[in-house]
Chain A
Amino acid sequence: MIEIDGLTKTFGPIAAVSGINLKVGRGEVLGFLGPNGAGKSTTMKMITGFLAPSSGRVRVCGFDVETQTIGAQRMIGYLPEGAPAYGDMTPRQFLAFIAEVRGYSGSEAKARIGDAVRKTDLDPVLDQPIDTLSKGFKRRVGLAQAVLHDPPVLIMDEPTDGLDPNQKHSVRELLRAMAPRKAIIVSTHLLEEVEAICTRAVIIDRGRIVADGTPAELLARSRHHNAVTLALPPANIDGVKARLKGLSSVASVDQQQRSDGTIELTAFPRSGALLIEDISALATAERWDVKELYAEPGRLDEVFRAITTHDAARAREFRA
């Protein structure tokens, strides 16, 4: 439902987005990841028609965003970064304005507003000026505005930024509930969010897509993918370590001390090997005093850091 072709945006000499190609279909929740300044927001601004691309094009439900802007914008619910809203209005007035602009009137407008309010739990603050609301409620006003017309395409720039864990949870539930009928793009810094709600993760760095796959595929690229961690008392730790290293499926072992004195050993597999069975069998046979034993699915932050260039590395590169 969203087709992006060779999308490029330059601001003077700086290329904020360079040559992004992307297709998002119904039922997909695409997590848009990347360091600050990678071009996430700029891309979203072009999808929603706020910025015109320098080259390339975006189609939303068949409408070209540049030439059929209004047609495309009707199909989109957009939560801009920071969830801007008119602070002097109450959520009720604000949503009435959005409903009117979206072409609803009378009982239909009322029903739409009621629905959006219910989905975002805005009832308690409906008649307070938006300026006086907490960050969480402000964000929810922005969400309500975006879902009011039940759009087939949702574009959300950091929808859970600044929310407490409960609010994050309810926003994710909301997105999950709507996901099957929509194409959703969510930008975020929270990698756990990607694992929680996204069917697909795209990492962009310096305006280019550097990774595109399901969260599981990305996790598989992590060094910790299928790694096994054991927690043991410090006694005879070297012996345990040596035995672990002796396993043919183990590539290396890391050691870490916890604050309570227990030692955490993490065994990393040779490529593709499944470690958990070997190691649990070994632990039983050797009668190790294992406090914890678990396999890791992989760490997204590790993949993220490996793929996107570090600011420090970038600065060094720049100096050189």
Chain B
Amino acid sequence: MKPILAVFKREFAAYFATPLAYVFIVIFLFAMGAFTFYIGHFFENGTADLQVFFGFHPWLYLFLVPAISMRLWAEERRSGTMELLLTLPLRLSATVIGKYLAAWAFTGVALALTFPIWITVNYLGHPDNGVILASYIGSFLMAGAYLAIGACISASTNNQVIAFVVSVVVCFLFTISGAPLVLDFFSAWAPLALVNAISSFSFLTHFTAISAGVIDLRDLIFFLSLIALFLTANVVILDLKKTG
């Protein structure tokens, strides 16, 4: 646990040592606001809830989260610190988890900074704050899942641009795997069970379920096990890279 904390603290501080954190947070908040008010017509809807706000989260994460995750390992490789980090007496899993948690905590900070919209909606009406809290939790979990995918991809390439593009594509597939675009491709020939399995991987489905205000154990397990799966893959990839 202590080594994870050491890696976490270093990594988390590193975000704020460079302009990266501030640029990211400003753009994240600006985009959230712009989408909610101009495209989502938050005021015109006249309802005291944050559905439109949360509705845009998957699509924003799709581009913003890979922007964070792409540098996670690629940057360490480029600067040579990878060699330093992997020759310190740390378990590979501790290093992977520490770095991942730092990135996740950072997106958590960005997400938490959207609190003015929560204040706004409480000022304007009487929203169901339980639903809003559930939605925040769901959004945070979803961000974590995107990050785990992106981290794993970052570990497998030296090139940050490749890491970004591939992460966006993979995350996109996970986001919409419940949509006809993906399902039609499979439903023609694949057995129903497989089609159902694919559709159950959709982030949208699980996120929508949570943001309706019901934190179902199945949705929690879905996101957490997906994170665990990709972090394990991350460890395996780094281990394979050792054998060159």
Contact, CB under 8 Å: B6 / A97: yes
Contact, CB under 8 Å: B6 / A84: no
In the complex, which residues 55-98 of chain B have their Cβ closer than 8 Å to any Cβ of chain A?
79-81, 83-84, 86-91
Q: Which of A78, A87, A101 contacts B3 (CB 8 A)?
A: A101
Q: How far is A85 from B82 in the complex, measured between Cα atoms in Å?
A: 9
Does A290 interact with chain B (Cβ within 8 Å)? no
Does B45 interact with chain A (Cβ within 8 Å)? no
Chain B 229-244 interface mask (CB, 8 Å, partner A; 1/0): 0000000000000111
Contact, CB under 8 Å: A85 / B6: no
Nearest-neighbor residue (CB-CB) of A12 within chain B:
B244
Give the size category of B's interface with A: 20 to 34
Does B120 interact with chain A (Cβ within 8 Å)? no
Contact, CB under 8 Å: B81 / A50: no
Nearest-neighbor residue (CB-CB) of A102 within chain B:
B89
Q: Which of A54, A70, A78, A129 contacts B90 (CB 8 A)?
A: A70
Does A86 interact with chain B (Cβ within 8 Å)? yes
Does B7 interact with chain A (Cβ within 8 Å)? yes
A9 to chain B: which residues have CB within 8 Å? 244
Contact, CB under 8 Å: A70 / B87: no
Does B14 interact with chain A (Cβ within 8 Å)? yes
Q: How far is A86 from B18 in the complex, measured between Cα atoms in Å?
A: 12
B6 to chain A: which residues have CB within 8 Å? 97, 100-101
Min CB distance A74 to B, Å, is: 4
**Given known contacts A11-B244, A101-B7, is B87 in contact with A80 (CB within 8 Å)?**
yes
Contact, CB under 8 Å: A86 / B86: no
Central interface residue in A54, A70, A71, by most chain B CB within 10 Å: A70
Does A176 interact with chain B (Cβ within 8 Å)? no
Q: How far is A70 from B14 in the complex, measured between Cα atoms in Å?
A: 25
Q: How far is A82 from B79 in the complex, measured between Cα atoms in Å?
A: 10
Q: How far is A89 from B10 in the complex, measured between Cα atoms in Å?
A: 9
Contact, CB under 8 Å: B80 / A73: no
Does A45 interact with chain B (Cβ within 8 Å)? yes
Min CB distance A53 to B, Å, is: 9
Q: Which positions in A face B, CB cutoff 8 Å?
A: 9, 11, 45, 48-52, 54, 70-71, 73-74, 76, 78, 80-82, 84-89, 93, 97-98, 100-103, 129, 145
Besides A73-B88, A101-B7, A103-B2, 6 more A-B contacts (Cβ < 8 Å) are A11-B244, A50-B86, A78-B84, A78-B87, A85-B81, A102-B88
